[in-house]
């Protein structure tokens, strides 16, 4: 029988008996969702896009904590007696059908008034009647239809940052004023002599003055304040000559209209501020739907189940967990604090914390660390430390997360700012003093012309427009960089460190091979059906790998948590699992994760499950080996050292079984040696190293889901192009240097005419915005040209 795909979620499905309306379903949950949609006339959902939903998660008590009024109050955006509003993160949103069904929740439950989906953020804003449907029931409804909300400790803490729109408002004011002042300036430029215009020329000038006041006081305030703070601290930054240019333009223009000497330079003033703010907008632009500053709060649940005397249970916020508390950890839930296993068999997945790809079996009395995920069944634990003192959260107290390791970095514009400022001020006041001695009437004009023509606006615009456009180009190609400063640091990198699990390898597929005695057709059939009955990830991986066989009911099945499976059909018995479980022997040195098979107590062989490396990873590492010093830091074991050695350039150092703190210290040691380090990782175990390195890049299969604190997020599908992104960043810096050179030539030529008194301030004011426009045009065209090599 050929495999088919589940009609609802698209998962591999060859379960012939789970059918409804002639359609295959991978599980009863998906079939139930289909029935719900059919009963509520929502089957249009399936016409929007094939297989859009996910298999629903059903766990009794999963959302009991939402009945706690304190927790609910922190999550709700608005609440009164009959109307609540909540914003829920739903990572499963990925297509038009997802949006459609989530915005039609009111048809599934009359207690929902309305819902709106924010697709980039993967969030749903839901209005509901608490008297008809509680927050707990709403979360259960979403989970039942395959859109399980992600409710984490970060949501409960209420620390989400509000968007700062001040720059946008400043830019809007400057742009509005610039357009109107230019319009009012036209009669002055053309000197038409028209009576009406001549009659009201003074009024037009005062209107231009009124438009320029908010430009200086509000839009340009950032440059004035920065220059003042710099001077007060004894520093000359590039904002000093910009602030001087703004003030000189404004005061000189105001003096001209007060004494009826001319129209002033209000158009150039507003244009200067507008273009500077436009550059700053590009510089500060980030992808708001991504989070580059995530910590453990984005990963932990907000509530856990505490066990009380007499078998009673209560849901408490995770912050209230104390040493000595007994907690119930359900299947698929996280261990929120360092603890001791009391009851049940632990099968703990630490891959997101340590990098170890294989689940770890734990027995009663053994220690569990915060961040591990229980894979099989429920367990009871006793807390050893509060959440705030756990092994995982202590990692976040490291100085690397305070950004102190990167505060010493100065942007290219800042580095040249002091020298440029000193040069401009020296030339301006020297020239003014000379003309004061030779011809006092020329002194003020020369001073004004020098400060205007030498205003470093073109230099200030070159870096933000070049790097800002690279941010946009990279974002369209699946490489989301936090800010332009990260791009500048990226261009200086000389050492690249890679994590293995989830970075060089992909979690979406595994390489599985069998060694041993070939199984008979009957043995393979029983093995397939035995694996089918287990929800363990390794069981499911093998189940999908095996050739399809007829689905037959098992006469006997037993799952030994943390050990393996037993299945029997008639007189054919299969045991599958660890070497100790199947053979009664300790495992030997393994090449990867091993699953052993025996039939009727006779050993047959083993399946070796190895991580599948990302497509093009070997070629990428070979190319990067020519330009960078490489190393691999992995929390996994050494089972793939030989294979990884063939993938890497010769003599590349590899370090295995590395704990998060060891990774962080490794990066620090390289930095002490003067290296500029790029760290590429994916999980919480890499968070310290990502934060400590000059540039931390998190590789993600889905950029909208969890990634640790980082400077950039790289879509896993674009991993093989990492070196291309780095090369383009270095080319971008060359474009900035070239822009500086062009700007310097322009300033030198302009300064010559300004110092000699041959350049009128009005001509300087016209040339200044033209130079800015030319720099912006050049940098935009050049970055588009170098970005053409990236695949879309």
Buried b (16+ CB within 10 A) or exposed e, 520-545: eeebbbbbbbbbbebebbbbebbbee
pLDDT of residue 20: 63
pLDDT of residue 54: 52
The pLDDT tens digits for 88-139 are 888 777 666 677 778 888 888 889 988 888 776 778 889 898 889 988 889 8
- pLDDT interval class at 414 (50, 70, 90): low
Task: Please give the residue that has the higher pLDDT: either 117 or 667.
Answer: 667
Return the CATH architecture of domain 507-612. 3-Layer(aba) Sandwich (3.40)
Q: How far apart are CA 657 and CA 354, in angstroms?
A: 8
pLDDT of residue 30: 63
Structural fold of domain 479-506+614-726: Rossmann fold (3.40.50)
Q: By 3-state DSSP, what share of the chain in percent is helix, strand and coil, each rounded to 5?
A: 50, 20, 35
Task: Please give the residue that has the higher pLDDT: either 468 or 200.
Answer: 468
pLDDT of residue 717: 82
The pLDDT tens digits for 771-791 are 777 777 888 888 889 888 776
pLDDT of residue 725: 93
Q: Among the ranges 270-284, 479-493, 536-550, 616-630, which has the highest mean pLDDT value? A: 616-630
Distances (CA, A) of 285 to 268, 463, 488: 25, 13, 15
Structural fold of domain 301-393: 2.70.150
**How, if at all, do strands 495-498 and 677-681 pair?**
parallel
Candidates 726, 705, 687; CA nearest to 486 is 726
pTM of the model: 0.61
The pLDDT tens digits for 24-42 are 766 655 666 666 666 666 6
Residue 77 three-state SS: strand
Q: What percent of the chain has pLDDT over 90?
A: 8
pLDDT of residue 60: 58
Task: Please give the residue that has the higher pLDDT: either 162 or 177.
Answer: 177
Task: Please give the residue that has the higher pLDDT: either 39 or 704.
Answer: 39
The pLDDT tens digits for 271-311 are 778 877 876 676 555 444 445 555 555 556 666 778 888 77
pLDDT of residue 749: 76
pLDDT of residue 706: 47
Q: How far apart are CA 715 and CA 474, in angstroms?
A: 11
Candidates 493, 557, 499, 517; CA nearest to 694 is 493
DSSP string, 104-150: TGGGT-TTEEEEEEETTTTEEEEEE-TTTS-HHHHHHHHHHTT---B
- pLDDT interval class at 537 (50, 70, 90): low
Q: How far apart are CA 165 and CA 162, in angstroms?
A: 9
CB 101 within 8 A of CB 54: no
The pLDDT tens digits for 576-596 are 988 888 887 766 545 557 889
Q: Among the ranges 301-305, 425-429, 472-476, 522-526, which has the highest mean pLDDT value? A: 522-526
pLDDT of residue 279: 65
- pLDDT interval class at 726 (50, 70, 90): very high
Q: Which of 72-76, 138-142, 517-521, 749-753 has the lowest mean pLDDT?
A: 749-753
The strand pairing partners of 558, in sequence order, are 566
With a cut of 70, say whether residue 149 has pLDDT above it: yes
- pLDDT interval class at 677 (50, 70, 90): very high
Task: Please give the residue that has the higher pLDDT: either 602 or 715.
Answer: 602
With a cut of 80, say whether residue 755 has pLDDT above it: no
- Mean of per-residue pLDDT scores for the chain: 76
């Amino acid at each position: 029988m050929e495999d088919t795909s589940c009609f609802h979620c698209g998962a591999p499905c060859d379960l012939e008996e789970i059918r409804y309306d002639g359609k295959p379903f991978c599980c009863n949950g998906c079939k139930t969702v289909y029935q719900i949609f059919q009963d509520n006339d929502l089957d249009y959902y399936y016409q929007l896009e094939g297989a859009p939903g996910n298999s629903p998660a059903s766990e009794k008590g999963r959302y009991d904590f939402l009945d706690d009024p304190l927790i609910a109050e922190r999550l709700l955006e608005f609440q009164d007696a009959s109307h609540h509003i909540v914003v829920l993160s739903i990572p499963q949103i990925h297509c038009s059908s997802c949006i459609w069904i989530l915005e039609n929740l009111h048809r599934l439950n009359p207690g929902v008034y309305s819902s709106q989906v924010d697709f980039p953020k993967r969030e749903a804003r839901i209005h509901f009647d608490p008297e008809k449907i509680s927050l707990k029931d709403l979360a259960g409804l979403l989970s039942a239809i395959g859109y399980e909300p992600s409710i984490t400790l970060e949501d409960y803490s209420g620390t989400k940052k509000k968007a700062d729109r001040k720059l946008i408002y400043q830019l809007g004011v400057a742009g509005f004023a610039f357009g109107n002042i230019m319009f009012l300036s036209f009669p002055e430029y053309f000197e038409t002599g028209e009576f009406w215009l001549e009659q009201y020329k003074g009024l037009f000038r005062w209107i231009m003055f009124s438009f320029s006041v908010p430009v200086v006081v509000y839009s340009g305030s950032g440059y004035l304040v920065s220059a003042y703070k710099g001077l007060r601290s004894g520093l000359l930054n590039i904002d000093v000559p910009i602030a001087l240019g703004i003030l000189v333009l404004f005061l000189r223009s105001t003096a001209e209209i007060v004494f009826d000497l001319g129209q002033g330079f209000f158009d150039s003033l507003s244009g200067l501020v507008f273009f500077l703010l436009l550059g700053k907008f590009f510089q500060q632009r980030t992808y708001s739907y991504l989070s580059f500053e995530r910590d453990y709060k984005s990963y932990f649940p907000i509530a856990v189940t505490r066990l009380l005397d007499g078998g009673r249970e209560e849901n408490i916020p995770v912050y209230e967990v104390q040493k000595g508390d007994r907690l119930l950890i359900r299947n698929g839930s996280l261990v929120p604090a360092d603890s001791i296993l009391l009851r049940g068999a632990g099968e703990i997945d630490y891959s997101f914390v340590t990098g170890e790809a294989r689940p770890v079996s734990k027995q009663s009395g053994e220690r569990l660390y915060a961040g591990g995920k229980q894979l099989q069944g429920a367990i009871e634990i006793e807390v050893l430390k509060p959440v705030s003192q756990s092994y995982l959260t202590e990692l976040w107290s490291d100085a690397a997360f305070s950004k102190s390791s990167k505060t010493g970095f100065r942007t290219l514009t800042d580095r040249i700012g002091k020298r440029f400022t000193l040069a401009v001020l020296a030339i301006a006041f020297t020239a003014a003093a000379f003309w004061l001695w030779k011809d006092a009437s020329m002194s003020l004009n020369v001073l004004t012309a020098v400060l205007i023509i030498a205003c470093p606006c073109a230099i200030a615009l070159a870096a933000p427009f070049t790097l800002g456009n690279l941010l946009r180009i990279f974002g369209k190609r699946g490489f989301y960089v936090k800010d332009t400063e990260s791009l500048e640091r990226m261009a200086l990198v000389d050492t690249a460190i890679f994590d293995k699990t989830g970075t060089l390898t992909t979690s979406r597929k595994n390489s599985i091979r069998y060694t041993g005695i070939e199984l008979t057709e009957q043995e393979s059939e029983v093995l397939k059906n035995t694996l089918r009955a287990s929800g363990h990830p390794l069981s499911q991986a093998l189940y999908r790998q095996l050739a399809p066989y007829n689905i037959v009911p098992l006469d006997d099945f037993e799952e030994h948590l943390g050990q393996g499976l037993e299945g029997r059909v008639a007189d054919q018995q299969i045991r599958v699992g660890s070497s100790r479980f199947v053979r009664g022997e300790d495992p030997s040195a393994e090449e990867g994760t091993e699953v052993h098979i025996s039939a009727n107590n006779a050993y047959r062989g083993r399946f070796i499950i190895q991580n599948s490396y990302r497509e093009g990873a070997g070629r990428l590492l070979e190319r990067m080996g020519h330009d960078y010093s490489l190393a691999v830091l992995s929390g996994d074991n050494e089972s793939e050292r030989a294979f990884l050695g063939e993938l890497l350039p010769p003599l590349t150092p590899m370090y295995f079984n590395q704990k998060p703190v060891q990774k962080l210290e490794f990066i620090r040691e390289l930095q002490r040696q003067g290296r500029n380090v790029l760290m590429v990782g994916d999980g919480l175990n890499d968070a310290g190293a990502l934060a400590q390195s000059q540039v931390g890049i998190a590789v993600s299969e889905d950029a909208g889901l969890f990634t640790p604190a980082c400077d950039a997020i790289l879509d896993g599908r674009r991993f093989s192009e990492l070196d291309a992104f780095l090369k383009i960043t270095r080319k971008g810096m060359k474009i900035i240097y070239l822009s500086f050179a062009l700007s310097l030539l322009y300033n030198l030529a302009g300064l010559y005419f300004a110092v000699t008194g041959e350049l009128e301030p009005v001509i300087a004011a016209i040339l200044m915005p033209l130079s800015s426009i030319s720099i912006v045009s050049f940098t935009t065209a050049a970055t588009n040209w170098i970005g053409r090599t990236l695949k879309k």
